[in-house]
Structure 1
Amino acid sequence: MADKAYITPIVFKWARESAKMTAETAAIKVNVPAERLLEWEAGASQPTIKQAQTLAKAYKRPFALFFLPDIPRDFQPLQDFRRSDSKSLSTGSVFMIREIQQKQAWISETNRENSEAKFPFVGRFTIKDNPADVAQDILNTLSISPGKYVTGNPIKEWIDKAEAKGIFISRTSFINSHLTLDSDELQGFAIADPHAPFVFINSEDWAAPQLFTLVHELAHIWIAATGISADVEPGFQKADELHPVELFCNEVAANALIPSRLLTNLGSHVFQSASQVFSVAKTFGVSSFALLVRALNLNLISLVHYKSLKMAADAEFKAFLIKQEAKRAKQKESDSGPSYYLLQIQKNSRLFTQTVLDAFRGGSLEPTQASSLLNVKINHFHNLEAQLHK
């Protein structure tokens, strides 16, 4: 007979519920009826050690946690700036937030212990300031010139320059092959810690919306507003539809990515056709829709003209989705795609990956902790380092 795991029922139940997992879903992972799992959570019976270990892995919790006498302190939930009718955070989103909180907590503690100076841009402004002023300060701090991207890859340039200033940028659309992230549920979040500012971007969207999300989340850092976002887009929402912080950060992003002076100087002729709009939008690294909304808000085009061009922008987006689906299908057939280690670096943040590897190589970080922080086995660290230097 298999050895029983004499877990603490209240902790066992908390671990499942904090993973946003139903009893039915959790029971499937250990091939038992949901009623049996609920018995374990009530203390009426006990799982085997193997079953408890399997569930610990599913909940992304240490196996030893199940034997604590009471529910442990956990990371505090991030403030939710999403609309009141937004989707509830699912298991994937909860795991992603928890993972970033673990990384951020380690780097923040390390920087504090090393007496590193606080980053002066964190909380430099408040929501009462002018969004255009915040946008300009972000551009000045990161040395970015909108519309003059050197690499031809705006989002990469923004990420590289943000990380060069000490802001950790994590970007992914999955936890693992079975657990993906829904951009309708979670587009991004920011942890505005002056010792270790961290930004997460859901990469399920295409590059242009991702860039808008990135700059929106940087605005959260600049006003020290830690929290979750899911309504990141340039638009004309009524003031009561979005949280004031989200409206403000959307304004900052629009001003930073498409400064009014630059757009006005281009002249109205750029809005004569959808192809011209697309060309200008590409220069700024934004979607045609974002550019049109910005032009409308600046009174550069009429509402009638906006609606006409938006139809073409919508068609452009649909065409993009079709191409993306075809691309995914082709990659699946050929079993090709981005390097696993590149995806891990993007998920961990390039800056965070380098920081952990430096600490590990310098002997100030235990191998098991380094492996846990990077989600990569120690004997594969050389693959991460090789990818970092490409």
Structure 2
Amino acid sequence: MADKAYITPTVLKWARESAKIAEETAARKVAVTKEKIKEWENGESQPTIKQAQTLAKVYKRPFAVFFLSDIPKDFQLLNDFRKNGSKPLTTSSIFIIREIQQKQAWISEANKENNEPKLPFVGRYSLNDNPKDVAADILNTLSLNPSNYQFENPIKEWIESAERNGIFVSRTSFIHSKLKLDSEELQGFAIADPFAPFIFINSDDWQAPQLFTLVHELSHIWIAESGISNDANPEAINKGKFHPIELFCNEVAANALMPEELINRMRSLLNLNSKELFSAAKKIGVSSYALLVRLLSLKLILIEEYNKLKKEADIEFYEFKQRENEKKLKAKVSLGGPSYFLLQLNRNSRLFTQTVLDAFRGGTIEATLASNLLNVQANKFNKLEAQIYK
């Protein structure tokens, strides 16, 4: 007879519910009935040690947690700034938020212990300030110029600049192969901590919306408002529908990515057709929609022109997505998809990865903790580190 795990029933139930996992799903993972899960959670019977270990892995909790006498204090869910009626956060979103909170808490505590100074830009502004001023300060702090990017892909430049300034940026679209992130549910979130600000970007979408989300989340840090977003969208202008913080951060992002002076210059050179609009938008890393909305808000085009170009841009964007999907498919077939270690590097953030590896090599932390923070086995650290320099 297999050894029983004398877990605390209320803790087992809390672990499942906090992971937003249904009884049926939990039962399927350990090949038992839904009624058996209820029995364990009511204390009427106990799972085997192997079953409890499986559930710990499914719920993404340490096995030892199940044996605590009471429900432990958990990370508080971030403020939810998404509009009313948004999709409820599901298991994948809960897991990625918890994972980033764990990383952020560790690095923040480490920086405090090392007497690192607070980052001066966290909370430098508030909702009472002009979004244009906040945007200008972000560009100045990160030493970025949207009219003169160094890379063909602007999001790369933004992430590198953010991390050089102590802002950790994580990007992924999945927890594992069977648990994907939905960009309609969660585009990104920010933890505006002065010792270790952390941004997460859902890479489920294509790169222009990701860049807008990144700058939107930077705005959250500049006004010290930690929270979850799925309205990082230049078209989110209905003030009765969206949270004031989201509207403010969208305005900041629009001003940072498309400064008025730059858009005025671009407009003077643009013949207003969808192809030129698409080309101009791609150059500065935004979508045609974002550029159109910006042109309209600055009164550089009429509403009739906006509506006409938006319809044309829909067709142009559809064709672009088809081409991009074909490229991805060919790359996947020929190369077998991106490296596992590159995916983990982006998920951890390059800056966070290097910081953890330095702490491990310097003997500050144990291999087990480093492995847990990086989602990579300790004997594979050299492969992960190799991706940093590629």
* Short-chain TM bin: over 0.9
Q: TM-score, normalised by structure 1?
A: 0.98
The alignment partner of 2:150 has SS state of: coil
Could you say which residue in structure 2 is the equivalent of 1:316?
316
Give the superposition deviation at 1:267: 3.1
Give yes or no for the alignment of 1:296 onto 2:296. yes
Give the superposition deviation at 1:339: 1.4
Comparing 122-131 and 334-343, the one that deviates more: 334-343
The alignment partner of 2:270 has SS state of: helix
Give the superposition deviation at 1:238: 1.7
The 3 A distance-change label for structure 1 pair 320 and 35 is farther
Is contact 1:29–1:54 with CA below 8 Å preserved after alignment?
A: yes
Give the superposition deviation at 1:293: 0.5
Give the superposition deviation at 1:320: 3.3
Letter in 1 for 2:282: K
Is contact 2:19–2:94 with CA below 8 Å preserved after alignment?
A: yes
Comparing 9-18 and 315-324, the one that deviates more: 315-324
The alignment partner of 2:199 has SS state of: strand
Could you say which residue in structure 1 is the equivalent of 2:275?
275
1:124-139 equivalences in 2 (<5 Å): 124-139=124-139
Could you say which residue in structure 1 is the equivalent of 2:30?
30
1:109-188 equivalences in 2 (<5 Å): 109-188=109-188
Give yes or no for the alignment of 1:90 onto 2:70. no
- The separation in 2 between residues aligned to 1:194 and 1:167, in whole angstroms, is 10
Is contact 2:275–2:316 with CA below 8 Å preserved after alignment?
A: no
Could you say which residue in structure 2 is the equivalent of 1:226?
226
Could you say which residue in structure 2 is the equivalent of 1:192?
192
Unaligned runs of 5+ in 2: none
Identity value in percent = 65
The alignment partner of 1:237 has SS state of: coil
- The separation in 2 between residues aligned to 1:221 and 1:48, in whole angstroms, is 45
Give the superposition deviation at 1:318: 1.9
- The separation in 2 between residues aligned to 1:20 and 1:141, in whole angstroms, is 39
Is contact 2:144–2:158 with CA below 8 Å preserved after alignment?
A: yes
Give the superposition deviation at 1:271: 4.7
1:260-292 superposed Cα distances (whole Å, 9 cap, x missing partner): 111112335515211111121112110111000
Could you say which residue in structure 2 is the equivalent of 1:73?
73
- The separation in 1 between residues aligned to 2:31 and 2:176, in whole angstroms, is 21
Give yes or no for the alignment of 1:351 onto 2:317. no
Is contact 1:163–1:169 with CA below 8 Å preserved after alignment?
A: yes
Letter in 2 for 1:97: I
Letter in 1 for 2:57: K
1:123-144 superposed Cα distances (whole Å, 9 cap, x missing partner): 0000110000000000000000
- The separation in 2 between residues aligned to 1:185 and 1:327, in whole angstroms, is 26
Between Structure 1 and Structure 2, how many residues are aligned?
A: 390
1:205-259 superposed Cα distances (whole Å, 9 cap, x missing partner): 1010000000000000000000000011001532111000000000000000000
Letter in 2 for 1:110: A
Give the superposition deviation at 1:30: 0.5
Give the superposition deviation at 1:333: 4.3
- The separation in 2 between residues aligned to 1:204 and 1:286, in whole angstroms, is 16
Could you say which residue in structure 1 is the equivalent of 2:377?
377
1:335-350 equivalences in 2 (<5 Å): 336-350=336-350
Give the superposition deviation at 1:323: 3.2
The alignment partner of 1:321 has SS state of: helix
1:68-117 superposed Cα distances (whole Å, 9 cap, x missing partner): 00000000110000012000001000000000000000000000001100
Is contact 2:170–2:201 with CA below 8 Å preserved after alignment?
A: yes
**Aligned Cα root-mean-square deviation (Å):** 1.2
Is contact 2:190–2:197 with CA below 8 Å preserved after alignment?
A: yes
Is contact 1:268–1:300 with CA below 8 Å preserved after alignment?
A: no
Is contact 1:147–1:285 with CA below 8 Å preserved after alignment?
A: no
1:322-374 superposed Cα distances (whole Å, 9 cap, x missing partner): 33443454455456121111111100000000000000111111111001100
- The separation in 2 between residues aligned to 1:368 and 1:283, in whole angstroms, is 44
Letter in 2 for 1:65: V
- The separation in 2 between residues aligned to 1:271 and 1:195, in whole angstroms, is 47
Is contact 1:268–1:301 with CA below 8 Å preserved after alignment?
A: no
Is contact 1:124–1:223 with CA below 8 Å preserved after alignment?
A: yes
